[in-house]
Amino acid sequence: MGLLLLSGLCSWALGAEPEARPLRMGISQSWAMPFASYEKGHIKGGILLELAQEIAKRLDAPLQIQVIPPRRVEAMLKDSAVDLHCLVSPEWLNEKLPSERWTELVLRMDDVLLAPATYQGKTLDLDRVAGGVTVGLVTSYLYPALDEALSSGRMLREDAPSQALVFEKMLRGRSDFAVSNRLIADWFNKQQPQHQRLKFLQTLASVNTACALAPKPGLEASRIKSAVKQMVKDGAVEQVLQRYR
């Protein structure tokens, strides 16, 4: 009788539905609204959360999101600790990823140079800027448009772990200028009184962003790439963006 019961239990276990593998999305804690808002270390809203939910839905997979410090983003992707990291440009990464680890273009974004409301100029000539001028940047992020100015010492990095803190530092006089994604700067200015709104000086770079895949994602890479492609093709990305404009 005991052997029969054990056999029945084994048959039930073998026939059980396997638990669905989750989509593990990595999101850098450096993002600010409209891309991400955080509460107690967890993402609570924004474009990136909605895109992650949309991809997971199309994969019919549960969603797990890991909020990652900027310095750890590339390492966690390389170690396949997350499956996917979205709205990334190859220009922003230290390591060049092979083409098969990229989805198609998801969103084109502008990096803009900003100044405090009190700044009197209209633009900034990076080739003639006085030595020692500070520029607020996100920790560990690369800014190819500023490489020469930074390496020559004409501009000095004033790093902060998130875009929101980059803005805060500039408002407190800790940096002379700052670089931001245009959508983030627009969102920030909407929350500020007129006399504190940041000035847009010039566009430093326009970059195509996509999603970068881990070398060994937990879900099939071709399925992830297909889900992202279809999401772009059928207008789901644009629908998400419209809710934040």
| The 3-state secondary structure of 91-123, one letter per residue | HHCCCCCCHHHECCCCEEEEEEEEECCCCCCCC
Given this model, what pLDDT does residue 131 score?
A: 83
Given this model, what pLDDT does residue 2 score?
A: 40
For 31, other C-beta atoms within 10 Å of its C-beta total 24
Residue ranges of the chain whose pLDDT lies below 70: 1-19
Cα angle, residue 81 at apex, residues 66 and 94 outer, rounded to 5°: 95
Task: Let me know if the fold of 20-108+207-242 is the same as that of 110-206.
Answer: yes
Model confidence pLDDT, tens digit, residues 10-28: 434 444 455 689 999 999 9
Give the CATH H-level superfamily of domain 110-206: Periplasmic binding protein-like II (3.40.190.10)
Residue 184's region, left for phi above 0, alpha for psi from -120 to 50, else beta, is alpha
Domain positions in the chain: 20-108+207-242, 110-206
Domain 20-108+207-242 maps to which CATH number in 3.40.50.1100, 3.80.30.20, 3.40.190.10, 3.40.50.1000?
Answer: 3.40.190.10
Question: For 17, what's the count of Cα atoms within 13 Å in the CB-facing half-sphere?
Answer: 3
Given this model, what pLDDT does residue 166 score?
A: 96
Given this model, what pLDDT does residue 18 score?
A: 58
Given this model, what pLDDT does residue 137 score?
A: 97
> In the chain, what is the straight-line distance between the N-terminal and C-terminal CA atoms, in Å?
68
Given this model, what pLDDT does residue 5 score?
A: 39
Given this model, what pLDDT does residue 38 score?
A: 94
Pair of tokens at residue 208: 């195509």
